[in-house]
Amino acid sequence: MNRSLIRTLGVSIAAAAILSGCETIRPALGMKPAAGTAAAPGTAPGKSAAGASPTAQPMPPILSAEQMGLKEGIELYNKGSFNDAIKRLAAPDVAAGSKAAQLQGLKYTAFSYCVTSRQTLCRQSFEKAFKLDPAFDLAPGEHGHPLWGPVFARAKKGAK
């Protein structure tokens, strides 16, 4: 063999030996990653190529401003902070968002108005929802609520 071929072969073997500890090169060489390491490219999230449990928790999905605003508004409603929920759900990121986000925001705004004894504003929120989507409806368990059920029924009747 000539010297240049031997030198190239030696450098290649040395590089492979050095990189064999690198987790990104192991799958490329057909080697299994060491136990407890991150998943190799192409494997299912939350699993390593060897099927071991993940060492890190997966990142939660990133929410858009609209989704975050809607989530925050509903959380405020669920905590009983109805006035804060009304303000949050009226913010531009929700109120000018997608049709689905607007409908959810209007529904929880109406609920918030109803539970704080503001029936006219409750009805107006439902009416806005019907203008946005004439097929707007509540979930089956929401229809019979003693505070907003009758207000919703009147708004629906008026929307026809």
The CA-atom distances, in angstroms, between 81 and each of 12, 78, 123 are 66, 7, 20
What's the CA gap between 86 and 40, in Å, rounded? Answer: 46
Do 130 and 103 reside in the same domain of the chain? yes
Do 36 and 72 reside in the same domain of the chain? no
- Greatest Cα pair distance, the chain, in angstroms, is 94
**Strand runs (DSSP E) across 92-154, as ranges?**
none
What integer is the mean pLDDT of 105-117? 97
Boundary (domain end) residue, out of 14, 38, 57: 57
Quickly state the pLDDT bin for 62 (edges 50, 70, 90). confident
Q: Residues 76-102: pLDDT tens digits?
A: 999 999 999 999 999 999 999 999 999
Do 149 and 125 reside in the same domain of the chain? yes
**Count of structural domains within the chain:** 2
Q: What is the DSSP letter of 139?
A: -
What integer is the mean pLDDT of 96-121? 96
Start-to-end CA span in the chain (Å) = 91
Do 70 and 135 reside in the same domain of the chain? yes
Quickly state the pLDDT bin for 59 (edges 50, 70, 90). confident
pTM over 0.75: no
Do 108 and 135 reside in the same domain of the chain? yes
Q: CATH number of the domain at 107, please.
A: 1.25.40
pLDDT (0 to 100) of residue 60: 73
Neighbour count for residue 114 (Cβ, 10 Å):
24
